[in-house]
Amino acid sequence: MGKNSLLLNSTTEEQQLVHFELIEQLVYLTFPTSLFEKKESVSFFCKKRKEQKRFFLDHIMEKSTFGTHVTIELEQFKLYFHEKSRLDLYMQFKNEEHSGVYKVCMKQIEKSKNKRYLGLKPLKEEFYISPYVNIKGQISFVINTAEKIKGEIFEGDAALKKVSYKKGVLKFKVELLTQETVSIRNVILKHRRGIDSIVIEVKPENIKGNILFVQIDILNYQFQLQQFYWDIYVEIETNELDSVLLRVKNYGLWNKYKLQYLSEMLTYEDAEGNILVPYITASEDFSLNYRKKGEYEEKKYKYNEYIAFLFYMLFGFWFLKSNIWLIHEKYSETAQDNSFSFFKYCFKHYPQKKVYFVIKKESKDYSHVLPYKKRVVHFMSVKHLFLLLVAKRIVSSEAKGHGFAWRVSQGLIKPRLNQKKFIFLQHGVLGLKKIDNTFKANGFNHADLFVASSDFEKEIIHEYLGYPYKNIVTTGLARWDELENVNRNNRKEILCMPTWRNWLEEVDEDEFLQSEYYQRYYELITSSKLREFLVEHDLYLNFYLHPKFIQFANLFDSLDDHIRIIQFGEETVSQLIKNSTMLITDYSSVAWEYYYLDKPVLFFQFDRDKYEELQGSYMNLETDLFGNSSSNIDALIDSMRTTVDHKMGLDEKSINLKQQYFKHVDNNNCARIFQEIKKNEVSSSLKEELMYSLRRSPLLRTVWKKLKRRFS
């Protein structure tokens, strides 16, 4: 928290918390009186671990002969947290005698988890909150489902000991590592993103002491399986917590090796091409992945993987100082985003630099890369996989995983990809859409350099995603170097480009048709009032659905010659931006491109309340937008009319905000990004690069967690 911060459990005895209690929805804390001479100078806040944003808490403070009592109501946590979170409690002093931020810690720490956790209280929907004292003595809060918190409180683990597969039957052995007396009830498979679960009955003959032998005949349960991830739990009965679900965890190096590198021996495949793959997650949990077998999991590509790895073992040492950069975009099938713009800059200005662009040969954008073909690599070719193994930097406008077969985590290549340093160019400016769970600093998609467009965005990355300032570079986005206000088709066009919704991902067609998202946008493109407006002003509207909803593109159609439905890949987004004079969107980051070019943006936010609850925004959507927002079609068309009457210019509020939202408005974004990556390269020695790679090795991480658990 800074050089001036003091930890309460590391200073004098008088400065420590002496009592911690939960009654109903109230947390009671008791401190020595001497700390609180002026209660108005003291505030309390909680903070997610490895993140910077502070959530200040209302509290009541009273003095007595026993000390100072502080009461914090749990109900207020509903205002801040709508998903699982882990928070630590701090207090802040601001007066002449004391100044700084302090962790709130207990004087004495109970060893038993049952005594350190103060119970579960319902918070919101399926989430509960539990105040507790962590292993270092600090007061903390966990927000999660009741079953997750009870599994955390329980003193013990369900450890995977052995796993095998033969003829449609998956077998594994689990040992309950606990001193408590428990009874084993069932094994449960829970769908990670839904409410579905499959109960596998445990027979008495399958239990020997604390050892459980599980046998899953996949054919018996296949009709219940949905894509994609199923987590495995053992349900037990305890005296204090009643029913507890323990996530099956892996502490064995052989299990990790077997499921990572020999997964084909354990994979079930049916006649329709569905596969069930057991695997170990990044947090060492045992899970199943049920999905359609991917195109890049066929034998041809497995052979490519083995050949590339053999070449790496034989010749990889020659590339220790090569400093190769490997660049890709969404699923390695596009060439139109920040990654491609940055690649072209490198190709033109630094032809000797080993920078390669990865793309699928069958991509609709493949023609874009032909002028640069000597530095273009075909996705999942031997050359691509070899370069993945030897590259020093992965550079992308999407997650690192888009540079390999999507959803495939097993094999020889993926672990090495995860060990590479990652430069995140971003897909778009942060502000309208929260991505905390996707790109946070301590997450799976951690970036070593995170590109930002302004100090405003830099603060979002620092506060909400938890990145230190040294890992954030305020350069501007690469593709902005190519933005032009040039309309080459001599038509006055409007682009309508809505973004996706996280609650509609992976739904079927019937559910999508019933959604408000589909109904509002279909109502818009078939609106007679919209058509009359377009004809009156000789305007044309292009409707472009987000790529995540590409499977539903056929559900949108228009027979009107003033309204055109554009399919993914038919035109590049950059060309659509150039050709249009106005944007209609909801929460898409493409709005920032228009704003950068001084083109007006109209926001169509009919589901704002639901969006803020389920997705969230870093901006105040009521006050911080750089364009008018409408919640219905009539209001949207009225805003379009006003914008046309003002000759397609920005309103006064948007003009005044622009300096805050953009640090650079020039054509030097790629140059700044290149220099920042070079600086990052120069500052890292070969030894540091190797140590970085070793720290992210999945096998070494398993060994470390096993040793940590044994000696804790």
What is the distance between the alpha carbons of residues 130 and 139, in angstroms, rounded to a whole number?
Answer: 11
The Cα-based distances of 44 to 24, 29, 33, 40, 553 in angstroms read 20, 12, 16, 11, 50
Q: Which domains does the chain have, with CATH numbers?
A: 6-145 (no CATH), 154-293 (2.60.40), 299-476 (3.40.50.11820), 483-661 (3.40.50.12580)
φ, ψ of residue 432 to 5 degrees: the values are: -85, -15
Helix (H) or strand (E) holding 565: strand 563-566
Nearest to 348 by CA among 234, 478, 439: 478
**pTM value?**
0.81
Token couple for 405: 């077969």
Token couple for 629: 């927002």
Count CB-CB contacts under 10 A for residue 398. Answer: 21
Give the per-residue SS3 of 162-200: EEEEECCEEEEEEEEECCCCCEEEEEEEEECCCCCEEEE
Nearest to 32 by CA among 6, 56, 44, 14: 14
Q: What is the DSSP string of 128-170?
A: EEEEEE-TTSBEEEEEEEHHHHHHHHSS-EEEEEEEEEETTEE
Report the DSSP pairing between strands 127-133 and 325-328. unpaired
3-state secondary structure of 228: coil
The alpha carbons of the chain give a radius of gyration, in whole angstroms, of 28
What is the distance between the alpha carbons of residues 161 and 179, in angstroms, rounded to a whole number?
Answer: 18
CB neighbour list of residue 615: distance below 8 Å, 6 or more residues apart: 433, 434, 501, 502, 587
At 52, the pLDDT band (50, 70, 90 cuts) reads: confident
* Bridge partners for 200 per DSSP: 187
pLDDT at 488 over 70: no
pLDDT in tens, 643-702: 999 888 898 889 999 989 999 999 999 999 999 999 988 877 767 777 777 667 777 777
pLDDT computed for residue 14 by the predictor: 35
Tell me what the mean pLDDT of segment 389-400 comes to.
94
At 80, the pLDDT band (50, 70, 90 cuts) reads: confident
What is the distance between the alpha carbons of residues 151 and 235, in angstroms, rounded to a whole number?
Answer: 10
pLDDT in tens, 318-358: 998 889 999 999 999 999 999 999 999 999 999 999 999 99
At 478, the pLDDT band (50, 70, 90 cuts) reads: very high
pLDDT at 66 over 90: no
Tell me what the mean pLDDT of segment 278-307 comes to.
92
What is the distance between the alpha carbons of residues 173 and 158, in angstroms, rounded to a whole number?
Answer: 10
Q: Which residue has the higher pLDDT, 122 or 36?
A: 122
Tell me what the mean pLDDT of segment 597-618 comes to.
93
pLDDT computed for residue 287 by the predictor: 96
pLDDT computed for residue 8 by the predictor: 37
What is the distance between the alpha carbons of residues 188 and 199, in angstroms, rounded to a whole number?
Answer: 5
Spell 180-197 as b/e; 16+ CB within 10 A means b: eebebbbbbbbbeeeeee
What is the distance between the alpha carbons of residues 540 and 495, in angstroms, rounded to a whole number?
Answer: 9
What is the distance between the alpha carbons of residues 405 and 412, in angstroms, rounded to a whole number?
Answer: 12
pLDDT in tens, 207-265: 998 899 999 999 888 888 888 999 999 999 988 788 899 999 998 889 999 999 998 89
Say which range, 94-98, 183-187, 210-214, 253-257, has the weakest mean pLDDT: 94-98
Amino acid letter, 139: I
Query: At how many degrees (to 10) do helices 686-695 and 698-711 cross?
Result: 70
pLDDT computed for residue 3 by the predictor: 32
The alpha carbon torsion through 302, 304, 305, 311 (nearest 10 deg) reads 150
* Bridge partners for 73 per DSSP: 26
pLDDT computed for residue 311 by the predictor: 95
The region that residue 490 occupies, defined by phi over 0 for left and psi between -120 and 50 for alpha, beta otherwise, is: left
For the chain, what percent of residues have pLDDT higher than 70? 93
End-to-end CA distance of the chain: 26
3-state secondary structure of 300: helix
pLDDT computed for residue 6 by the predictor: 36
Tell me what the mean pLDDT of segment 407-415 comes to.
87
Token couple for 253: 């190096």
Burial of 479 (0-12, 13-18, 19+ CB in 10 A): buried
3-state secondary structure of 316: helix
pLDDT computed for residue 126 by the predictor: 85
Token couple for 255: 């299990």
What is the distance between the alpha carbons of residues 367 and 336, in angstroms, rounded to a whole number?
Answer: 11
At 7, the pLDDT band (50, 70, 90 cuts) reads: very low
Tell me what the mean pLDDT of segment 538-557 comes to.
90
In 3-state terms, the chain is what percent helix, strand and coil (to 5)?
A: 35, 30, 35
What is the distance between the alpha carbons of residues 395 and 425, in angstroms, rounded to a whole number?
Answer: 7
Burial of 528 (0-12, 13-18, 19+ CB in 10 A): exposed
- Most confident by average pLDDT, 19-23, 418-422, 530-534, 573-577: 530-534
The mean pLDDT of the chain is: 88
3-state secondary structure of 626: coil
Helix (H) or strand (E) holding 310: helix 299-315
Q: How many CA atoms lie within 13 A of 68 on its CB side?
A: 18
pLDDT at 614 over 90: no
At 13, the pLDDT band (50, 70, 90 cuts) reads: very low
Is 39:59 a contact under the CB 8 Å cutoff? no
Is 585:496 a contact under the CB 8 Å cutoff? yes
Nearest to 51 by CA among 463, 361, 610: 463
Token couple for 315: 């010749």
At 95, the pLDDT band (50, 70, 90 cuts) reads: low
pLDDT at 706 over 70: no
pLDDT at 2 over 50: no
Distance of CA 648 to the CA centre of its chain: 36
- For the chain, the farthest-separated pair of C-alpha atoms sits apart, in whole angstroms, at 82
Tell me what the mean pLDDT of segment 431-449 comes to.
84
What is the distance between the alpha carbons of residues 215 and 162, in angstroms, rounded to a whole number?
Answer: 12
pLDDT at 486 over 80: no
pLDDT computed for residue 489 by the predictor: 63
Report the DSSP pairing between strands 6-7 and 19-23. unpaired
pLDDT computed for residue 463 by the predictor: 87
What is the distance between the alpha carbons of residues 118 and 27, in angstroms, rounded to a whole number?
Answer: 9
pLDDT at 566 over 60: yes
